[in-house]
Structure 1
C-alpha cells in the first residue's frame, strides 16, 4: 500500500469563491484579485492569483487527503449554485440552497478561528487533567514516581511535573501533536454543525451600492441586538452566519429562503465585520474603491477575537 499523500498548501477560503473577486490581469496574465495585509495597511498591495491567496501551510497536518476529499465533495457542487445566484435564480433548483448552506458551514469550520478554539480547548483540558491527577490521585502519583525513578516526590509542583510526563506519553497527546486529533475533530465538528444548520434557510443579499470584500475568516456569526450588529458569538447563539461569495453577493443563514438588497450602511457594517474577523488578510476585487475604507478600518480594528 502506498503512502498517504499530504496536501501542504490548503485553501481555507475556497478558490471558487475567490475567483468571483478577480478581474482579468494585464497582457493575458490570468485573473487577479487584491489581497490586503491588515498588519501593514500602508503597504503597497499587489494583485495575486487565487492560488496564492486564502491558504495555510499544513492546516490539517495529518493525512490531509481525507479532509480535502470531504471539502471537495461540497466545493465541486458550488460552481453551479453560484452560477444560479449570479443569474438571479438561486432557488430554481432546490439543491442550490443546500449547497450554499453547506458552503457557509464549511467556511465556518474549516477556519483559523476553529483551529484556535480547538487548540485552546485542548490546552485547558490538559491543564485540568494535570491538576486533577495531583489533587485526586496524589498518592498514586507518588507511588508511580517512586517505582519509575526511585525518588520520593514531595509537594504539588514535583507531583505536577511527573503528572505532566505521564500525560505526555498518552495516545491522546501523541495524536494532538501529530495533528490526527485536529483532523478527526474538524471532520466531526463539520458533520455536527452541518446537521444543526440543516433547519436554517439561505438568504441571498446584493448591495444597493458598493461592493463586498472577503476576509481570511469569512463565515462569521452575527446577532442583532437593539439595532447593533454583534459578531463572533458561538454558533448556537447566532441569529445568522454570513459569507461573501463575490463583490455583488453575500449568502447568509436565516429563517427562510429569500433574496434581498442591503443598504450602503449595511454593506459597510458587513465589510467591517469581515475586516475585524480576519486574522491577517482581506481580499477585494481590484478597482473596487474599497482600499481607503479597508486602510482606515485596519487601523481601528480591535485585537482578533476567537469565534465559538
Structure 2
C-alpha cells in the first residue's frame, strides 16, 4: 500500500502528520511487513544447558540478528534478519528463524543472546534478583575490549 494512495482512498485532505493518519498508515505497513516475515518463520525455544546460565531481558526485547550465530549484525532491519530473538524469562528465549523445536544451548549462545539484548537496549536491561549475569556480561565485555586493543596494537 502506497501512502499517497491510502490517504486518497481514506478521503484525507488535511495535514497527514498533524491528524495522525500518517502514523496510523506507518504502523499498518510495519504490521503487514512483520506479519509477512513471521508467517514464514519457524518458532524455536532456546534454553541454557547449564543451569548457571540465564538470559537477560532488555527494554527493547525483540532483537533482529543478521546471522544464525547470534554474535554479529545485531539490530538489522527485519527483512535482513536471519533470526529474531526475544527472551521470555531467565531460562527461555523465543527465536523466529529457519528451524523449529526446543533447543538446549551452550553458554556461548546464551552470552550472544545476552550481548544482543544489552547492545540493543534503549535504556535498561533486566534480570532476576541475585543473578550472576551482569558480572558475566561485564567480564565478557572486558575480555572483548582487551582483545580488540591487543589486535589494534602493532
- Normalising by structure 2, we get a TM-score of 0.71
Q: CA RMSD in A?
A: 2.8
Structure of higher CA gyration radius: 1
**Structure 1 residues 208, 257: closer, same or farther in 2, change over 3 A?**
same
Structure 1: gaps (5+ residues): 1-169, 301-308
Partner of 1:213: 56
**Structure 1 residues 268, 286: closer, same or farther in 2, change over 3 A?**
same
Figure out how many residues of one structure are paired with residues of the other and give that number: 129
Check if 1:173 corresponds to 2:17: yes
Deviation track 1:194-245 (CA, whole Å, cap 9, x = no partner) reads 1232011101100112000010111111122889532111111111101000
CA distance in 2, matches of 1:274, 1:206: 16
**Structure 1 residues 183, 216: closer, same or farther in 2, change over 3 A?**
farther
CA distance in 1, matches of 2:32, 2:110: 31
- Normalising by structure 1, we get a TM-score of 0.38
Partner of 2:11: none
Partner of 2:83: 240
> Which residue, out of 244, 260, 268, partners 2:103?
260
Structure 2: gaps (5+ residues): 1-13, 144-154
**Structure 1 residues 261, 181: closer, same or farther in 2, change over 3 A?**
same
> Which residue, out of 34, 41, 44, partners 1:200?
41
Residue 299 of structure 1 and its aligned partner are, at CA, apart by: 8.8
CA distance in 2, matches of 1:298, 1:218: 20
SS at match of 1:206: strand
CA distance in 2, matches of 1:292, 1:221: 25
**Structure 1 residues 271, 257: closer, same or farther in 2, change over 3 A?**
same
**2:55, 2:91 within 8 Å by CA — same for their partners in 1?**
yes
**Structure 1 residues 250, 225: closer, same or farther in 2, change over 3 A?**
closer
Partner of 2:147: none
CA distance in 2, matches of 1:186, 1:271: 28
**Structure 1 residues 280, 173: closer, same or farther in 2, change over 3 A?**
same
Which deviates more, 287-296 or 250-259?
A: 287-296
